[in-house]
Amino acid sequence: MTASLAIQDHIAIITINNPPVNGLGHATRTAISEHLRAAENNSDAIAIVLTGTGKVFSGGADIKEFGTDKTYAEPSLPSLLVQMDACNKPIIAALNGVCMGGGLELALACHYRVATSAIQIALPEVKLGLLPGAGGTQRLPRLVDMETCLDMICSGRSYYSDQLVETKLFDAFVSIGAQLLQTTIDFANKVATVRPIPRVRDLIANQTITPETFATARENLQKKSKHLPAPFACVDALEASVKLDFDLGIQTERQLFQQLLQSPESRALRHIFMAERAAGKIADIDASTPLRAVNSVAILGAGTMGTGIAMNFANAGFPVRLLDLQEDSLTRGLARVREQYQAAVKKGKLTQNECEERCNLIVGVQSYSDIAQVDLVIEAVFEDLAVKKSVFEQLDQTMKAGAILASNTSTLDLNEIAMVTKRPQDVIGLHFFSPANIMELLEVVRTKHTATDVLATCFSLAKKIKKTAIIAGVCDGFIGNRMLEQYTKQAAFLLEEGCTPQQVDHAIEAFGFAMGPFRMNDLAGNDISWAIRKRRIAANSNAIYSKLGDRLCEMGRFGQKTQAGWYDYQANDRTAYSSDIVNQMIRSHARELGVPQRQISDEEIVQRLVLALANEGRKILRDGIAARASDIDLVYLKGYGFPAHRGGPMYFAESLGWEKVDQLLQQFQQGHQGQTWIL
């Protein structure tokens, strides 16, 4: 049974027991409903306590039932709450732990709530493009002030029970969790005979609002989440709680919920939710795969990436040795670490003590013998195969047996690097993204030789340092950068066919990307992609690419750092201004090539760019570089600013249908002299 019933001191105790999060799946709802009925009919029970096992009251919907008929099968959650409203004995929630989503809605339909301190309280449905659809938007404002309701429901943010202790949400509060059940039983005995039984639905929704409350909330959302319908629907539902009676408010909430459920944004966000759950699954690894102990870390190279990676581990409490052979690079690197932590103190994100603790965890060293005993070493030295090979030879000679040897290379052949050591099974790629202490993505690159325990250990470690780890195979650029090359190529081809940089950037930014490809390249430095292009052309002289980026660099326009790139810039100003010189250069280059010029719609720009990503993603899957399409979507979401409400490039292509995608790709290449650069 996923919920049990017991009688103690004349109180019926219903305990939800559906690990891991006491999800309210169909079986659990049925069990609660039947136990409620039994408790009502049991003359020995004068009141009912509803609680959960372990550290969770209820985490809400059961994700195993997501999208199946069972989600809405009777008793549905709304019907169960109606049954609770009508119960002839008081129901008291004993909130023993996490109380989220449907779990909080269940608690709100109880007649009283007793909570323990430090438990998480949330209505996170908006994160899936939905709103709380079982009365949450109507009951919460009857107990909690509207400002908090708006924040909690529109952002989906978690609160701790202690933050809500001043509200009417809790009728009693216990600071030590162990006393909760007995306190609730005593409370139940006290209120058992109180009639009428107080129901949240009978209260008047919070009136502490001004005429501007909802307008201001909508204005704020316009700035933060203008692409998303769900937060706006949350405001509508909350407004209904003060303007309509309870039943009409519930009806409004239901209608809004149904609309959101069908919205493309919610479908995409639910796809991402499932993608995140699938991401850690690797065919030949399971819970029985042994893990290596990792308690200390060394980073090689105190440059941009090395210092960011070091901060990552220090943030999670790991002692880090940062090794750089150049004394001045090491000094600069350590100073950069301190500067960044100090900036976090200034912003109030860290205390001065925490700043000192983290700085002290990162110790600069200059000799390999100083790192020999650490459990994991990650090299982030120059991107040069000869340099990396010599570093790995050194590591092989110095590091203790069983240490994991990782590389942060973006492009180099890790199979080859592993083979310079006598322990290729211990070598793995850990590809962080810049800035490494902030970006959530980590591509974990498995070579032909990587041992399963090394792989499993790195996935487990990724969680500790709060990264989303995605498994990738060895190829130039792994998943993300290999796809990015096709995206960048398309962006330049669009210029050759008639677009301006601002038109391309504008179209993809309106689609939801944080930054278009040209503004992005100006920020990263056009000279960096120029150097990579030169290397690739040297390796494959048949490669098809637009020479516009080369022309730009030949003009010395490297981007923001030279105050001139695809756009013009002014000193100390990151605003991108349209550049006449660049636009003329693009047009004359296109004339020289003889590419027919035409007006290109924003829709085509978006499809060209996103399908260039998806097309390469499909090849990556065929080559066995990525484990699943949803992993590729996560790479783009977490590492490249792809808008979450669009679900990712593979999801975008799958929603169009691959047949249609192929038709479009054929059609697009007609415009560019029929060159076969896309399929």
Residues in contact with ligand NAD by CB under 6 A are: 300-306, 323-326, 329, 380-383, 387, 391, 408-410, 432-434
Residue 96 or 407 with smaller CB distance to ligand NAD: 407
Q: Rounded to the nearest whole angstrom, what is the least distance from the CB of residue 449 to ligand NAD in the complex?
A: 20
Rounded CA-CA distance 213/219 in Å is 10
Token look-up 């924003």 returns 602
Instruction: Give Cβ neighbours of residue 622 (< 8 Å, ≥ 6 apart).
Output: none
Q: Which two tokens stand for residue 523?
A: 């920020």
User: Which residue, judged by CB position, is nearest to ligand NAD in the bound state?
Assistant: 303
What is the DSSP annotation of 20-86? TTT---HHHHHHHHHHHHHHHH-TT-SEEEEEESTTEEE-SS-GGGTTSGGGTSSSPHHHHHHHHHT
Half-sphere CA count of 425, side-chain side, radius 13 A: 6
Q: How far apart are the first and last CA of the chain?
A: 54
Residue 142 or 638 with smaller CB distance to ligand NAD: 638
Q: Rounded to the nearest whole angstrom, what is the least distance from the CB of residue 333 to ligand NAD in the complex?
A: 6
Rounded CA-CA distance 477/465 in Å is 23
Token look-up 């006449």 returns 580
**3-state DSSP assignment of residue 117:** coil
Instruction: Give Cβ neighbours of residue 288 (< 8 Å, ≥ 6 apart).
Output: none
What is the DSSP annotation of 131-145? --TTTHHHHGGGTS-
Q: Which two tokens stand for residue 573?
A: 């100003």
Q: Quick count: other Cβ atoms within 10 Å of Cβ 466?
A: 11
Alpha-carbon distances of 114 from 19, 117, 132, 224, rounded to whole Å = 22, 10, 22, 35
Residue 325 or 555 with smaller CB distance to ligand NAD: 325
Return the amino acid letter for 130. L
Alpha-carbon distances of 408 from 23, 304, 432, 625, rounded to whole Å = 39, 12, 6, 17
Rounded CA-CA distance 548/126 in Å is 43
Q: Which runs of E-coded beta strand occur in 315-452?
A: 320-323, 362-365, 376-379, 404-407, 427-432, 441-445
Question: What are the φ and ψ backbone dihedral angles of 350, each rounded to 5 degrees?
Answer: -135, 155
Rounded CA-CA distance 468/643 in Å is 16
Q: Rounded to the nearest whole angstrom, what is the least distance from the CB of residue 305 to ligand NAD in the complex?
A: 3
**3-state DSSP assignment of residue 270:** helix
Q: Rounded to the nearest whole angstrom, what is the least distance from the CB of residue 325 to ligand NAD in the complex?
A: 5
Tell me whether residue 357 is one of the annotated catalytic residues. no
Q: Rounded to the nearest whole angstrom, what is the least distance from the CB of residue 671 to ligand NAD in the complex?
A: 33
Q: Rounded to the nearest whole angstrom, what is the least distance from the CB of residue 434 to ligand NAD in the complex?
A: 3
Parallel/antiparallel/unpaired status of strands 3-8 and 11-16: antiparallel
Residue 383 or 453 with smaller CB distance to ligand NAD: 383
Rounded CA-CA distance 446/469 in Å is 12
Which of 65, 125, 239, 443 is an active site residue? 125
Rounded CA-CA distance 399/149 in Å is 54
Which of 105, 485, 496, 616 is an active site residue? 105
**3-state DSSP assignment of residue 213:** helix
Residue 61 or 381 with smaller CB distance to ligand NAD: 381
Q: Rounded to the nearest whole angstrom, what is the least distance from the CB of residue 481 to ligand NAD in the complex?
A: 8
Rounded CA-CA distance 381/408 in Å is 8
Tell me whether residue 554 is one of the annotated catalytic residues. no
Q: Which residues are identified as catalytic?
A: 105, 125
